[in-house]
Amino acid sequence: MIPRFGKAHVAKFQTFKLPIYRTMNIADFPWLTTSILFPIGASLLIPIIPDKDGKTIRWYALIIGLLDFALLVYAFYTRYDLSSSEMQLVESYAWVPQLDLNWTVGADGLSMPLILLTGFITTLATLAAWPVTLKPRLFYFLLLAMYGGQIAVFAVQDMLLFFLVWELELIPVYLLLAIWGG
């Protein structure tokens, strides 16, 4: 018995519950969302990276591409079951709840190889673009933004989100082709 509090105060303390904090489990990690947003977020850092001749930006873009591709390979190798025909690595977050729009990503038997192929080809494209000297900051910014957008195109499961991601992904593609596309 607590001498300075009455029964009403003790009842209040007994009904008070502390929130339970969950620790991040590797099974709950948002693999696809991370692989989409990582190159896009990394591209936003390109303008603040000190670089005079474009070499640092090239290495930065290559490392980001390799890390994201390694993340994709690891996620699919450890979390994807080839014998299942269901959607896997599914993540769903409320995007605009008033309109029942969700950020829903996942991978099935058709999108999984396309996502891996996108990671592989874009990383190779970063290597193939090594001699680019005309506006390297803009080039690698657009390349990384396109990378995240292309992975999103193959992973999203919401029709409106697919349309938005497709259109946003076309902007870097258009600029890359218009400026460096010969």
pLDDT of residue 13: 45
pLDDT of residue 96: 82
pLDDT of residue 16: 44
Residue 54 DSSP symbol: S
pLDDT of residue 12: 47
pLDDT of residue 51: 86
Cβ neighbors of 90 (< 8 A, separation 6 or more) are 104, 105, 106, 157
Query: What residue type is assigned to position 94 of the chain?
Result: A
106 phi and psi angles, rounded to 5 deg = -175, 175
pLDDT of residue 22: 54
Q: Total domain count for the chain?
A: 1
pLDDT of residue 156: 95
Q: What is the pTM of this model?
A: 0.82
pLDDT of residue 182: 67
Q: Could you tell me if 154 and 114 are in contact, meaning their C-beta atoms sit under 8 angstroms apart?
A: yes
> Is there a domain that residue 7 lies in?
no
> Is there a domain that residue 31 lies in?
no
pLDDT of residue 112: 93
Q: Which domain holds residue 144?
A: 42-180
The rounded distance, in Å, linking the Cα atoms of 88 and 108 is 6
> Is there a domain that residue 68 lies in?
yes
- If you search the block for the tokens 């957008």, which residue do you land on? 149
The rounded distance, in Å, linking the Cα atoms of 68 and 84 is 25
Print pLDDT tens along the chain (182 aa).
444 545 554 444 444 454 555 565 666 789 899 999 999 999 999 999 998 888 899 999 999 999 999 999 999 999 999 998 899 999 999 888 888 888 999 999 899 999 999 999 999 999 999 999 899 999 999 999 999 999 999 999 988 889 999 999 999 999 999 999 86
> Is there a domain that residue 79 lies in?
yes
The rounded distance, in Å, linking the Cα atoms of 8 and 14 is 10
> Is there a domain that residue 91 lies in?
yes
pLDDT of residue 78: 92
> Is there a domain that residue 109 lies in?
yes
Long-range contacts from 93-100, C-beta under 8 angstroms, 24+ separation: 93/33, 95/158, 95/161
> Is there a domain that residue 58 lies in?
yes
> Is there a domain that residue 3 lies in?
no
